Amino acid sequence: MKLLQFALPPLPYYIASGHEDHGPGMVHVDRCNIGLFDLLAVEEGELLVTEDGRSYEVGPGQALILRPDAHHYGTAPTRLRTRCYWLHFKHDGYWTATDERLPLYRDPRGAWNGGDASTGEELDSAHDADWKMNAPLFSVQMPQYADLVEPARTFELLGQLTALTSSGQVGGALWRQQILFQELLQQLSAGLDARSTSPSAACAAQAAAYLRRHYREDISARAMSDSLNFHSVYIARCMQKEFGCSPKEYLLRYRIGQSKLLLLRTDYPVSRIAGEVGFNQAAYFASCFAKYEGLSPRSYRQRFSHA
């Protein structure tokens, strides 16, 4: 199954939508590289569409997302009366198409583990240096072509989005459209959420929670294994699969993140901050910080000082 993966933020955003009711014989338009994602959701009938050589028959209760960088066209005239919604949206961040679920973690230098950030929009603009306190990036995946998990709710959302177009370019209506669109995206990705309840995902989530709770302490693989009742090798395998990194790497990155907050919000000396976030030696803390942030803890703090 082809999946579309979006790095967030920024969030995908709604452009326009509509509802169509056609008799038999309708052919989808022929378009190439339109620069917009085109969501098609069928209430009744069928849509016969080909994208880059792959043909789809979108039936009732199904949806297809056509890519902004591909060539799509009607495979053949429809054989049935067809009622469907179309919706255009954009995503100005990094996205990719993949055949498998990828780790949901982004490393400090902007690359996604399991993906190639260089193939899409750069995650950070040229002037956005790594030392800034940015929102943590994560990713969302959704099937490009799939049965709708809750078709009634999906069509309700599409109907509300489309109805709001009659309100014109009024701020309140535009804001409401974006809120409804985000809920629609959640609906589209819901079919993949079963993965979050898999044994490996549950183990990885428990391990990550354990590391966040105890990050100020000396954490051993044995202690975490005993606490979670999972073998340390299994924990490491699960975290690599779900987060794209080892438990040790996850802990280190979390400690660095917490230290950045203390550097900004307190006047504690660097040696104290090192101890507050679980480093036994200030020199090792400074070395790790420089490795991931590209500058020393003191330099990081000075960038935000008034003097």
Cα-based angle 293, 296, 301 (whole degrees, multiple of 5) = 95
Report whether 260 contacts 91 (CB < 8 A).
no
Report whether 262 contacts 273 (CB < 8 A).
yes
φ/ψ of 253, rounded to 5, equals: -65, -40
Look up residue 254 and give its amino acid.
Answer: Y
Topology of the domain comprising 3-192: Jelly Rolls (2.60.120)
Minimal CA–CA distance to 56: which of 79, 31, 74? 74
Topology of the domain comprising 199-302: Arc Repressor Mutant, subunit A (1.10.10)
- What is the three-class DSSP state of 285? helix
Dist. CA 254–CA 266, nearest whole Å: 18
pLDDT the model gives residue 98: 85
Report whether 106 contacts 71 (CB < 8 A).
no
**Cα separations (Å) of 124 from 137, 173, 287, 299?**
11, 30, 24, 21
- For 55-84, letters b (16+ CB in 10 Å) and e give ebebebbbbbbbbbebebeebeebeeebeb
Task: Note down pLDDT in tens along the chain; length 307 residues.
Answer: 688 988 888 999 999 999 999 999 999 999 999 999 999 999 999 999 999 999 999 999 999 999 999 999 999 999 999 999 999 999 999 899 988 766 555 543 444 443 333 333 333 333 344 445 666 677 888 999 999 988 999 999 999 999 987 766 666 788 899 999 999 999 888 766 654 467 888 899 899 999 999 999 999 999 999 999 999 999 999 999 888 899 999 999 999 999 998 998 899 999 999 999 999 999 999 999 999 999 999 999 988 776 5
Tokens of 232: 């340390």
Q: Where are the domains of the chain?
A: 3-192, 199-302
